[in-house]
Amino acid sequence: MIDKTAREAQAIRDARAPFAAALTDLGLMEPFYHRSAADIDCLIEAAVTGYVDSMLAQGAGKERTGTAFDDPIPF
């Protein structure tokens, strides 16, 4: 994200706690423990941006291919 809105910036800050919980659950907290909030926010932003970009790219095409649901509507 470039030029985050106030809501986007708040959402990234709000994601810090679940991110820390996931790191703890996976036993990965120690390497991140002394990182700055800006470093953590950068990781969260990268994950969110990658996710959103992928969803947008996927939305440009058919989700189902080669299934009966792709058949044209018969009327």
Question: Domain residues for 11?
Answer: 6-56
Query: Is 61 within the bounds of a domain?
Result: no
Residue 65 has what pLDDT? 60
Query: Is 38 within the bounds of a domain?
Result: yes
Query: Is 74 within the bounds of a domain?
Result: no
Q: How many domains does the chain contain in total? A: 1
Query: Is 65 within the bounds of a domain?
Result: no
Query: Is 41 within the bounds of a domain?
Result: yes
Query: Is 69 within the bounds of a domain?
Result: no
Residue 48 has what pLDDT? 94
Kindly report the average pLDDT of the chain as a whole number. 87
What confidence category does residue 19 fall into, taking pLDDT thresholds of 50, 70 and 90? Answer: very high
Residue 38 has what pLDDT? 95
Query: Is 35 within the bounds of a domain?
Result: yes
- The average pLDDT across 6-23 equals 96
Residue 11 has what pLDDT? 96
Range 2-5, long-range pairs (CB < 8 A, 24+ positions): none
Q: Does pLDDT of 70 surpass 80?
A: no
32 CB-near residues (< 8 Å, 6+ apart): 20, 23, 40
Helical pair 6-14 and 16-25, crossing angle rounded to 10 deg: 30
42 Rama sector, left if φ>0, alpha if ψ -120 to 50, beta otherwise: alpha
